[in-house]
Structure 1
């Protein structure tokens, strides 16, 4: 493969860097709010409720956001996704300054941040499809994951130092500044022609039909529908793991080890993303998704019974690297098989279905860990010796069981042929040629 065929436009690299700036601030704030909530409540239930609030936009509002993504100028939508969390964080900052911050304020901010994150994810994916040729999308998705990992590494580490040095108020102010810088950078990129492709069927149907279009389109493509359903069940286990991560470590080893665990997780994401960004050789992203998910299930199974800081850091690193591999490979598959003009609606359907079981699993995990797993640990002492006692032991055993479930799912699919896309052709074949030049995209957007 030639170097030219895998080159990444400088504009796309700068675009990913600006997302990384905003992501760093979000990671910093998320860590500090997690610590604040746990200090105030000490409850895994509160983490469950806040996680459910954060998942609402992915399921309830995703079709609306997806249709808007295809209708709207992508740069304007991304600017809105920086403005919304800035307003939410400003509200939280004011409540902190008045010594009146409550869990309800944090929940409202999390909802606004999640709404902005959903819009940013969809618009970013479509924009990468527009800016980067197909041969370079695997690399740019890896680069994007590496910046996400860097944010995950620095966020917890800076969070610990920030809470001690400048307090929650200072941390929130830093995040607001980061989002303002990211918005300014987007304006600079827009001046050079960043906008977006539009669906040629725009205006031919109602807004409701546009929202349902993505779901119908995916189920007409067997390979993509199989991939979407695979992630629906994979996210059942991975979602509980992500929610249980912080309370498990806070209950077992404290906030400093939580910071190092999150930093190790981010380091895995960063290094794996960087490796994918530099990879120019061949490879099947479908098998990277399946192999990565199988390995991720194994990490979950072992992580649930690990209590030493060294083991937790190592497993968190592996989990981050595998998640980076899974997400970057999955995004490359979707960008290759979905036309850029309809990716907003299709990605919305993908998100809605993929995360549909997540809230149910997270909600069920609360009574399941309290009324099933905890009594089981007390009734069977040998389980307690392996996974520990109390809330930490219950959460650990639950994560291990879900890890085994993920492994069985992957092995069953592997034996049935994997996630191969089969005869489905490239995205460009579905709607005709995609606009190639940024100048042409700029003309389309200026006429909007």
Structure 2
């Protein structure tokens, strides 16, 4: 675990720096343009490359040394970041420069994340994969908790140029940790025979990742299940901030978001130290069900204490859900195929995340909000519980999203290949 912990620390520092830059650039673009569309395009430019580049990135990760893949990714992202800092400092920055830099960073993130995740399988003993996954979730939870607060403070002191240069410095921390270690070669790990997949064509190698997943009903079911529920979760995430602001102040919103962040950090710390359940799939089902129930309660009741408790429990479950999902994939996919398989997951997940971003606004404005403003039967009946108006429209979509999440989980549980994926599909890595 010592090598993994060193790499994890470097990645944690780098992720915090990148999150500060993302936060600062988002505020800068919105203040500069006053356009929500321009602000949203930052998210789009950060998501599209993951959809387009991930299949090729997965092949490269499996072909290359994964340490060098991570070094290349961090180096190129650092250069794009410092270019933006120089453009801002010389007052030559244009909005399209931000989109281009975000696209470049996202492109290399498509290479870095599968390499990082697949390398973890080589570095960490099988029995400690849950702890490693918990640490990776902890990095994300910690970043989400401190970045908005720290970013707001730094914007007022060192300004956006200083934040971007700080981000550039964090890349060096990541690179130093990567240069200090060595990764095991893939061929030194005993796996099932996957060399039957031809390497004569990049297209063949791209499709081999898809073929491995589709040939195993349990993994395919897990992929579909996670993508479906993440789609619902992302709709909830997009609408959560305007929903809370429709019933309370920005200060209360900040407190609620911070408490949610504390829930994520607490859960991640628990997994990192304890290691998690032996039956990962049941933990995943249970906390997905809890997440849907929390969203449902937030739609039904707008009491601030209940809303705060719901977001705490929802956030507490997320690291467990994603951690259990990650470990199952690491145990069931051979190391020499993990780059491709994880890239397929990233591509499909990013596609549906982008779809959730795009449909959330129209769903709210064109369907749910009119239903709760007009004298429709829904407004007359459900309106007695959740009220009417804009806030009630968001409450209704939360109720629907929560019910869909729980229903999807119940249906998935009834599918034996998914429910029994840990037992029926053999592990492909030995216990060290």
Q: For residue 291 of structure 2, what is the aligned residue in structure 1?
A: 296
Q: For residue 400 of structure 2, what is the aligned residue in structure 1?
A: 401
Q: For residue 420 of structure 2, what is the aligned residue in structure 1?
A: 420
Q: For residue 90 of structure 1, what is the aligned residue in structure 2?
A: 82
Contact 1:236 / 1:358 at 8 angstroms: preserved in 2? yes
* Aligned-pair CA distance for 1:402: 1.8
User: Do structure 1's residue 131 and structure 2's residue 123 form an aligned pair?
Assistant: yes
CA–CA separation in structure 2 for the residues paired with 1:400 and 1:343: 37
* Aligned-pair CA distance for 1:278: 1.5
* Aligned-pair CA distance for 1:15: 1.5
CA pair 397-114 structure 1, distance change in 2 beyond 3 A: farther
* Aligned-pair CA distance for 1:73: 1.0
Give secondary structure in 1 for the equivalent of 2:281: helix
Q: For residue 208 of structure 2, what is the aligned residue in structure 1?
A: 213
* Aligned-pair CA distance for 1:308: 7.0
User: Do structure 1's residue 194 and structure 2's residue 195 form an aligned pair?
Assistant: no
Give the paired residue count: 419
CA–CA separation in structure 2 for the residues paired with 1:105 and 1:387: 45
User: Do structure 1's residue 176 and structure 2's residue 168 form an aligned pair?
Assistant: yes
* Aligned-pair CA distance for 1:413: 2.0
- More displaced stretch, 34-43 vs 360-369: 34-43
Q: For residue 228 of structure 1, what is the aligned residue in structure 2?
A: 223
Give 2:236's match in structure 1, choosing from 231, 237, 241: 241
CA pair 215-27 structure 1, distance change in 2 beyond 3 A: same
- More displaced stretch, 235-244 vs 218-227: 235-244
Q: For residue 190 of structure 2, what is the aligned residue in structure 1?
A: none
* Aligned-pair CA distance for 1:282: 4.8
Alignment TM-score, normalising by the size of structure 1 = 0.83
Give 2:352's match in structure 1, choosing from 351, 354, 357: 357
Give secondary structure in 1 for the equivalent of 2:180: helix
Counting only pairs closer than 5 Å after superposition, residues 4-43 of structure 1 correspond to structure 2 as: 9-40=1-32
Give secondary structure in 1 for the equivalent of 2:419: coil
* Aligned-pair CA distance for 1:337: 0.6
Contact 1:293 / 1:407 at 8 angstroms: preserved in 2? yes
Contact 1:156 / 1:262 at 8 angstroms: preserved in 2? no
Gaps of 5+ in 1: 1-8, 437-448
CA pair 395-408 structure 1, distance change in 2 beyond 3 A: same
CA–CA separation in structure 2 for the residues paired with 1:383 and 1:37: 38
Contact 2:227 / 2:348 at 8 angstroms: preserved in 1? yes
1:113-171 deviation line (CA, Å, top 9, x unaligned): 32233322211111110011111101111122112212221111201211222222222
User: Do structure 1's residue 317 and structure 2's residue 312 form an aligned pair?
Assistant: yes
Alignment TM-score, normalising by the size of structure 2 = 0.86
CA pair 162-308 structure 1, distance change in 2 beyond 3 A: farther
CA pair 337-104 structure 1, distance change in 2 beyond 3 A: same
Q: For residue 322 of structure 2, what is the aligned residue in structure 1?
A: 327
Contact 1:292 / 1:326 at 8 angstroms: preserved in 2? yes
User: Do structure 1's residue 410 and structure 2's residue 405 form an aligned pair?
Assistant: no
* Aligned-pair CA distance for 1:217: 0.7
CA–CA separation in structure 2 for the residues paired with 1:172 and 1:258: 27
Q: For residue 191 of structure 2, what is the aligned residue in structure 1?
A: none
CA–CA separation in structure 2 for the residues paired with 1:257 and 1:66: 42
CA–CA separation in structure 2 for the residues paired with 1:86 and 1:92: 10
Contact 1:73 / 1:196 at 8 angstroms: preserved in 2? yes
**Structure 1 residue ranges, 4+ long, deviating more than 6 angstroms after superposition:** 305-309
